[in-house]
Chain A
Amino acid sequence: MSRLLQIFSRRRHYDDLSVSIREHIAERAEELMEDGMPQAEAEQTARREFGNIGLIEQRSREVWQWPTVESVLADFRFALRQLIKSPGFVVTAVLTLGLGIAVNATMFSLVSAFLLPHLPGRDPQNLVVPTSINPDTNFQPSANPVSAPNYFAWASDKRLFSEVAAADEYRAGSLSEPGQQPEAITYAAVTANYFSVFGEAPQLGRAFLAGEDQPGHDHVLILSHGLWERRFGSDASVIGRTVRFNREEYMVAGVMPAEFRLLGFTAQLWAPLTLTAEDRAPGSRKNRFLYPFARLAPNVTLKQARVQLSTLAQQAQQDFPAVESRWGAAIRTLPEFLIYTFGIRPAITVVMTIVGLVLLIACANVSGLLLTRAVGRQKELAIRMSLGASRVRVVRQLVTEGLVIALLGGGVGLALTFVGIRLMRAGLTFNDAISAVPVTLDTNVLLFAAAVSLASAMLSSVVPALKASRTAINTDLKNESRGSSSCRGNNRLRVVLVGGEIAIALFLLIGSGLLIRGVYLLDHQKLGFDHDHLLTAGIGLDHARYADAIKQEQFVRSLTARLQQIPGVTGVAVSSDLPATGLGSVTFHIKGQAETRANEQRTTGDVVVTPDFFEIIGVPVVRGRGLTDRDDAGTPRVVLVNQQFVHKVFQDRDPVGKQIQLDTPGAPAAWSEIVGVIGDIRSFSEDPRIEPQVYECYKQRPVAFLSLMLRSNVDPTSLTPALRHTVAELDPELPLLRVMSMDGVIDMQRSGNPLFAKLLASFAVLALILSAIGIYGLIAYTVGQRTQEIGIRLALGATASDISRMILREGFKVAAIGSAIGFVVALPLPKLFESIFEGGLSFKAPVLYPLVLAAMLAVVFCATVGPARRATRVNPNDALRND
């Protein structure tokens, strides 16, 4: 504390000191005068005897200072003064760095949101998630949910887990109030200990009590913070209130805080999961829908748990071979599980690499700028060093300047990041799970931006500082002629820097060009059906009112009949999944065909539709017949297959008449006859794959979750009110999910890839612009260095065009080297993309390469033409003078 106060009293001490010293000398002089010396000589002698007044005073002052801190502050002040004097340089450097930092920080917000998620509860890293391993799928096979018997078996093994909760995270329900439209709610059904396993206390009210997941006590709800805000207006009196949920009365017991969010699990409320005796029976093993969340028993490591779990899975395989054969078990920590399941890690890695490259280009540019500047200050640095500054001190001064630029760049970068994150959030709406994760400028991003600023400061300024200080030692202090002080090494370094920038920019341009073309092809690929003038809506026929197949089928029949009556509707169909939005998959057997390998089973896509489906979406029946109203529960089971199925399974032989058995969940396996073949529809609108598909008849296998499709001869969304009204007539409490036109659905699904491609393209363009600035700087600098040489050439008879050609050639030489490297590095890109976008998308685009090259050359030309023109205007007289 006294140290701080000493800052204020310092002034006084300095004054005291100088008064003392002055008086000391005056007294000595007087003494000498008393001894007879004349005044002038006495004063001189007194001063000489004292010594180096300035030095002594400074040394005395230093007692009151912190010399290192002071000199660093002095460096800062000096750096600021120098920078204020050259605004052009500062603006260029700060903007360049700011852009580089901004794109990095913006993309890092994705990393922060998805790969470093803030997980709720107590000690989330020690929560584990056991899952099953699905042998028949390629999509995230080892994070498959488990069945209720699995859960019971694992929960009862006290050596493995100290506590286990289970959740069915993807349920759809409805909240309704009399007189209002029922609202579709996504919710999770969880065991009573769910929240205590996580260790997260509710913000209001209470969590579930033990026993509330038993039948008869389970009409309790816990709301999510978002739902509480949105639907209940953040009203604290909601606790204890009764609401109508899934057509029954439930009591609201608590509200969870806003931070309780597990990445992409978007439950809006939690209801108890009631598992009955039926769920324990072996018959339920096929139904895998639970995600367990557990804490390991004390002294059990994850590795040990993995081994134990495999043993349990193998035991299950032996005990229940029909259902469990080839199914394994896996276990992960909660963070690992969430990142795997909602994994956009590969995409983020790619993006971060690219913006890292962009930042490198920015740093290279700033480096070049600093190099130029340092060369211009050779004299100043040489004088400093001759006055006694050590090399370290000079380097520190130059690095401080780089640091100030980096700080300013960081500030600009942060401001741009704010905007960038906003823009990106708007673009992330193509996927519910992804847009559920909040992407913000949080502490992680701030720290990252700060770290990146510092790193780029170091990167950009250290090498120029070292170089500058080294040449300063060797510089003569006499007036040299302009142009002879350029160091060969300096130039070569800059050529390498700029060449590297061009290589990176070219690589990025080619990559994004290929991607954009691929995305364009995907966007315009034929999906195989007519998706205009179609209104769609999702319906979940809940158990409470539509408990059995008969009730479900009855509802669908009445609804379809009524929907046909709506003016503007030309056709109505129902399907378990909308076309091109992904579909369920089942394993199947063909009667008379042996399995290819003893253990392997084949899978196919599977959809349940009403007979009008194919007509409504305009898919032709190419062989055999379609489905008709006469195919119902009483008649033999029939299915249709698509052409790809015929190709893959029957090798293009006629499938009509063959018998097929589908292992559908929740229904006994039955043999069906293939009666027709229809045209191919792509499984996903944003994917080029065509997969085998089987179409079952709704009346023969009703499902509870289905999509309505209405074909209209007017704008489909204009029919929305009529649709809602008709459904409400039949069942006022049944909510409709996502009422959208089919075109709208497809657009939304497809917006993921274009976002990626657009991002990459903008980075590539940014890289190109930065490289152009780099080349401009380099050539301008060289022209400045070669003024004398140019003057001589002009004096000896060179024409202006000779000079400008010479300068342009220099620019193109660097561009050529950089481009060559860039092309070579970009060679494996088409193959790489083809393997990522599996399914036959061709990335051969020979026209792209000349286009990119031409763009690069054009940019290089524009960048070099300015300095070249300036070179031609050199006045030979001025240039030849030694100044």
Chain B
Amino acid sequence: MAKDPERRDLFSGALDLMILHSLRVKPMHGYALAKHIKQASDELLQIEEGSLYPALQRLLKEGLLESEEGVSAKGRPTRIYRLTAAGARQLEREVSSFEKMFAGITRVLAVAEA
């Protein structure tokens, strides 16, 4: 996901998680979404467009997002993506499983250090 090899490689569901959560906070169009993730992570994460748009289409196809015509920040026509009810449910599932995984890793790491 990140271009810079210094940045950590994220697990495959990470991008979907980011997108779903960001869009739950506020429905946005593609460019705004990319900027939001970059800003919210304090520049630790930068999404490549090559992954963003295919991911958006995939989530659309699975029915977790829907798109509608809207207007960008500059007033030009674009498509705005928003979370569906199914998307919200999926997001919760993903967050909980991410938290479980994170907790598990933390505990393993804690054991090693001790």
Contact = CB atoms under 8 A, between A and B. Distances in A.
Contact of A17 (B34, B53, B76, B77): B53
Contact of A19 (B58, B60, B79): B79
A285 B60 CA distance: 86
Contact of B31 (A6, A17, A23, A55): A23
Given A17-B53, A19-B78, A26-B76, A6 B61 contact: yes
B38 to A, nearest CB: 12
Interface in A666-687: none
Contacts of B73: 27
Contacts of A19: 77-79
Interface string A166-178: 0000000000000
A63 B49 contact: no
B74 A60 contact: no
A28 B31 contact: yes
B30 A20 contact: yes
B57 A27 contact: no
A20 B29 CA distance: 7
Interface in A241-287: none
A16 B53 contact: no
Given A19-B77, A21-B30, A56-B54, A64 B49 contact: no
Given A23-B78, A27-B74, A56 B50 contact: yes
A625 interface: no
A52 interface: yes
A870 interface: no
A39 to B, nearest CB: 14
Interface in A1-56: 6, 13, 16-17, 19-21, 23-24, 26-28, 30, 49-52, 55-56
A50 B49 contact: yes
Nearest to A59: B54
Contacts of B22: none
Given A16-B79, A56-B49, A24 B54 contact: no
B30 A24 contact: yes
B50 A64 contact: no
A432 B100 CA distance: 84
A51 B49 contact: yes
B74 A30 contact: yes
Contact of A51 (B48, B72, B79): B48
Interface in B8-42: 29-31, 34
A49 B49 CA distance: 9
Nearest to A49: B49
B67 interface: yes
A24 B61 contact: no
Contacts of B60: 13, 63
Contacts of B29: 20, 23-24
Nearest to B62: A63
Nearest to B48: A51
B76 to A, nearest CB: 6
Interface residues of A, number: 26
Contacts of A64: 57, 61
Of A16, A59, A61, the most chain B CB neighbours within 10 A belong to: A16
A50 B79 CA distance: 18
A301 to B, nearest CB: 58
Contact of A56 (B53, B58, B77, B79): B53
Classify chain B's interface size.
20 to 34
Contacts of B61: 6, 63-64
A59 B50 contact: yes
Of A6, A21, A52, the most chain B CB neighbours within 10 A belong to: A21
Interface in B43-88: 48-50, 53-54, 56-58, 60-61, 67, 72-74, 76-79
B113 to A, nearest CB: 41
A52 B50 CA distance: 8
A64 B78 CA distance: 20
B31 A27 contact: yes
A56 B34 CA distance: 15
Contacts of B67: 16
A704 to B, nearest CB: 85
Contacts of A24: 29-31, 34, 49
A565 B31 CA distance: 115
Nearest to A12: B67
Contact of B53 (A26, A49, A60): A60
B78 to A, nearest CB: 4
A140 B76 CA distance: 91
Contacts of B49: 21, 24, 49-51, 56
A16 B56 CA distance: 11
A61 to B, nearest CB: 8
A26 B73 CA distance: 11
B31 A63 contact: no
Nearest to B57: A63
B57 A23 contact: no
B30 to A, nearest CB: 5
Contacts of A49: 49
Interface string A746-773: 0000000000000000000000000000
A51 to B, nearest CB: 5
A16 B53 CA distance: 11
A17 B55 CA distance: 12
B53 A27 contact: no
Contacts of A63: 54, 57-58, 60-61
A6 B48 CA distance: 27
Nearest to A58: B54
A99 to B, nearest CB: 49
B108 to A, nearest CB: 36
Contacts of B56: 20, 60
A6 B61 CA distance: 9
Nearest to B32: A27
A17 B76 CA distance: 15
A23 B50 contact: no
A23 B76 contact: yes
A19 B77 CA distance: 8
A340 B64 CA distance: 68
A19 B53 CA distance: 12
B61 to A, nearest CB: 5
Contacts of B30: 20-21, 23-24
Contacts of B72: 23, 27
A28 B46 CA distance: 14
Contacts of B53: 17, 20-21, 56-57, 59-60
B36 to A, nearest CB: 13
Given A20-B79, A28-B31, A50-B49, 7 more contacts: A21-B30, A23-B31, A24-B31, A26-B76, A27-B72, A52-B50, A59-B54
16 contacts: A6-B61, A20-B53, A20-B78, A20-B79, A21-B30, A23-B76, A23-B77, A24-B31, A26-B74, A50-B49, A51-B48, A51-B50, A59-B54, A60-B56, A61-B57, A63-B61
Interface of A: 6, 13, 16-17, 19-21, 23-24, 26-28, 30, 49-52, 55-57, 59-64
In the A-B complex, list the 9 residue pairs whose CB atoms are closest, starting with the nearest. Answer: A63-B57, A23-B78, A24-B31, A27-B31, A60-B53, A20-B30, A16-B79, A60-B57, A60-B54
